[in-house]
Amino acid sequence: MEPFRTLDAVAAPLPAANVDTDQILPARFLFKARKEGFAEELFGDLREAARAGGDAFLLDRPEYQEARILVADRNFGCGSSREHAVWALWDAGIRTVLAPSFGDIFFNNSLKNGLLPVVLSEARIGELLDHLREHPGSRIVVDLAAQTVTGPDGRVDSFDIAPLPKECLLEGLDDIELTLRYRDRMDTFEKEHERRLPWL
């Protein structure tokens, strides 16, 4: 997994509450294998609706082509538990989502796949959304070690994250890599178990 330390990147505003995982990645794309990638299907139906209306979806606009941070409204990632929603964001280059709240399963899936979900107050998210709409292409800095978000207006906000997922993100450890850290202890246990109970 790619380590996450400090991200200084263009942020894109998505001012819609209750964006669910089916909006992030429509169910008809779930048949694809992980290795095939999901970037083109990210927000597939919303993109199609925008095109049908003669407009470009947020992430298709030139000013957001390099966006790696998404600023969203409350309850982002609610709905079904599909991990594919996180994969789609990741494959499209998004590394952090800032929102007042998240769907619980989406939040945990994000942490386990290297994407950092950051909870900030609803008032602060509102300010960031307003700024990003008025100044497209603005950048935000997310410092995981310091647990801070520096907005395009210079204001610094702190955020909470549990120690273990923070460590895993900083070091780029997924669940398997984290488990393998204890391989010596597991080998010792298995040898002792076999010595004590050879008939098993």
How do residues 107-117 score in pLDDT, each as one tens digit? Answer: 999 999 999 99
- Domain annotation covers residue 150: yes
- pLDDT value at residue 183: 75
Distance from the first to the final alpha carbon of the chain: 36
- Domain annotation covers residue 50: yes
- State the pLDDT confidence band at 178, using cuts at 50, 70 and 90: low
Pairing of strands 69-72, 96-99: parallel
The range of the structural domain enclosing residue 144 comes to 6-171
SS (H, E, C) the chain: CCCCCEEEEEEEEECCCCCEHHHHCCHHHCCCCHHHCCHHHCCHHHHHHHHHCCCCCHHHCHHHCCCCEEEECCCECECCCCCHHHHHHHHCCCCEEEECCECHHHHHHHHHCCCEEEECCHHHHHHHHHHHHHCCCCEEEEECCCCEEECCCCCEEECCCCHHHHHHHHHCCCHHHHHHCCHHHHHHHHHHHHHHCCCC
- State the pLDDT confidence band at 155, using cuts at 50, 70 and 90: very high
- State the pLDDT confidence band at 189, using cuts at 50, 70 and 90: confident
- Domain annotation covers residue 198: no
- Domain annotation covers residue 30: yes
In the predicted model, what is the mean pLDDT of the chain? Answer: 93
Q: Give the separation between CA 117 and CA 149, rounded to whole angstroms.
A: 12
- Domain annotation covers residue 165: yes
How do residues 5-24 score in pLDDT, each as one tens digit? Answer: 999 999 999 999 999 999 99
- Domain annotation covers residue 200: no
User: What global pTM score does this model have?
Assistant: 0.90
What is the count of structural domains for the chain? 1
- Domain annotation covers residue 182: no
CATH code for the domain of 44: 3.20.19.10
- Domain annotation covers residue 146: yes
How do residues 28-82 score in pLDDT, each as one tens digit? Answer: 999 988 889 999 999 999 999 999 999 999 999 999 999 999 999 999 999 988 9
